[in-house]
């Protein structure tokens, strides 16, 4: 497979998340040189924005957040389709409009008991700023966005079209979605595979599924440097206060691609901010002239 030199306007997947990379997809895909013989491996899948825009034939995809993986498994089996989601959102949207805020909290409670993927889409789209956050007991705890008419026809159509897009891509693909820690996932890589890593930022979006300490970041960096296949690693390089020393410490001899990015999704102002992002690429897998820090 040849990765696109210029990716046409990237599309957004059905799940919104605070670390979503949709806007960086063109740069990420244009920077990687990989022959596509093995599997595309993403141990920190999140919303899957990079995966769905690349559409490799074979892929191994995981995340510790079982709700995110659950949605993609449900689309894969057909349990969640564009048509069934439309029916659900029209029905639940009407209830939200007539019963107001209380209804959002009823759905949140129901989701925290059952983990239903349809309810997860509802909460992801009606929560404050589209944030995904779980408390220390693993319960979704984001408050309501305060818009009782959230699920208007045009918005429902937009979400259902995103599901239809993903569901079409999944047809005929050899893709496996697993709930798994990155360590188990990376133990499965083979020399022809390519790994794209987008872990949480150290000490930032901390919640039940996003504990990410300096020790985790160091362990991941040492592990990927010893992989038998190519990799690309996304991480912040600089914000208005400081440089990310972790990158300099572990990857000063690797090629880096950098760009400015603005995060629009976040619960607080300091999470919605401009950031310089880096993409570290393993030697031999960079698509253009090498650029060191």
Ligand X SMILES: C[S@@+](CC[C@H](N)C(=O)[O-])C[C@H]1O[C@@H](n2cnc3c(N)ncnc32)[C@H](O)[C@@H]1O
Identity of the residue, 92 or 207, whose beta carbon is nearer to ligand X in the bound complex: 207
Segment interacting with ligand X (CB under 6 A) among 64-72, 136-144, 248-256, 269-277: 64-72
**Position among 31, 32, 63, 237 found at the interface with ligand X (CB under 6 A):** 63
The span from the CA of 72 to the CA of 49, in Å, is 12
DSSP code at position 130: G
Q: At residue 219, what are phi and psi to the nearest 5 degrees?
A: -65, -40
149-188 residues near ligand X, rule: CB under 6 A: 181-182
Name the 3-class secondary structure at 272.
Answer: coil
Q: Is 72 among the residues that bind ligand X (CB under 6 A)?
A: no
Q: Which of 209, 231, 233, 251 binds ligand X (CB under 6 A)?
A: 209
The DSSP H or E segment spanning 274 is strand 274-281
Strand residues in 2-139 grouped as ranges (E)? 40-42, 58-63
Binding status of residue 56 toward ligand X by CB under 6 A: no
Q: Is 44 in the site for ligand X (CB under 6 A)?
A: yes
Asked if 17 interacts with ligand X (CB under 6 A), we say yes
- Least distance (Å) between residue 184 CB and ligand X: 9
Nearer to ligand X, 52 or 103 (CB): 52
Distances (CA, A) of 236 to 239, 274, 293: 8, 10, 13
Q: State yes or no: residue 43 binds ligand X (CB under 6 A).
A: yes
Nearest to 61 by CA among 150, 231, 233, 179: 179
Q: How far is the CB of 199 from ligand X (least distance, A)?
A: 6
Q: What are the tokens at 216?
A: 């985790």
- Under rule CB under 6 A, residue 46 binds ligand X: yes
Structure tokens at 174: 């050899």
The residue ranges that bind ligand X (CB under 6 A) are 17, 19-21, 43-44, 46-47, 49-50, 63-65, 68, 181-182, 198-200, 209-210
């Amino acid at each position: 497979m040849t990765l696109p030199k210029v990716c046409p306007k990237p599309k957004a997947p059905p799940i919104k998340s605070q670390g979503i990379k949709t806007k960086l997809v063109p740069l990420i895909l244009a920077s990687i040189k990989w022959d596509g013989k093995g599997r595309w491996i993403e141990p920190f899948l999140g919303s899957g924005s990079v995966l769905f825009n690349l559409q490799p034939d074979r892929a191994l995809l995981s995340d510790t957040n079982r709700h995110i993986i659950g949605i993609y498994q449900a689309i894969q089996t057909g349990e969640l389709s564009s048509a069934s989601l439309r029916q659900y959102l029209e029905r639940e949207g009407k209830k939200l409009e007539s019963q107001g805020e209380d209804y959002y909290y009823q759905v949140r409670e129901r989701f925290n008991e059952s983990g239903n993927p349809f309810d997860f889409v509802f909460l992801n789209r009606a929560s404050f700023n589209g944030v995904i956050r779980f408390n220390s007991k693993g319960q979704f705890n984001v408050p309501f966005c305060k818009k009782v008419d959230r699920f208007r026809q045009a918005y429902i159509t937009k979400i259902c079209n995103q599901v239809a897009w993903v569901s079409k891509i999944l047809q005929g693909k050899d893709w496996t979605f697993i709930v798994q820690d990155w360590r188990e996932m990376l133990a499965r890589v083979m020399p022809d595979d390519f790994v794209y890593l987008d872990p949480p930022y150290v000490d930032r979006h901390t919640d039940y599924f996003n504990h990410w300490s300096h020790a985790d970041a160091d362990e991941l960096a040492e592990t990927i440097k010893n992989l038998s296949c190519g990799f690309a690693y996304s991480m912040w390089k600089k914000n208005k206060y400081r440089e990310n020393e972790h990158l300099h410490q572990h990857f000063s001899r690797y090629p880096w691609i950098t760009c400015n990015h603005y995060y629009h999704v976040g619960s607080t102002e300091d999470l919605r901010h401009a950031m310089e992002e880096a993409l570290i690429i393993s030697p031999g897998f960079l698509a253009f002239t090498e650029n060191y820090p």
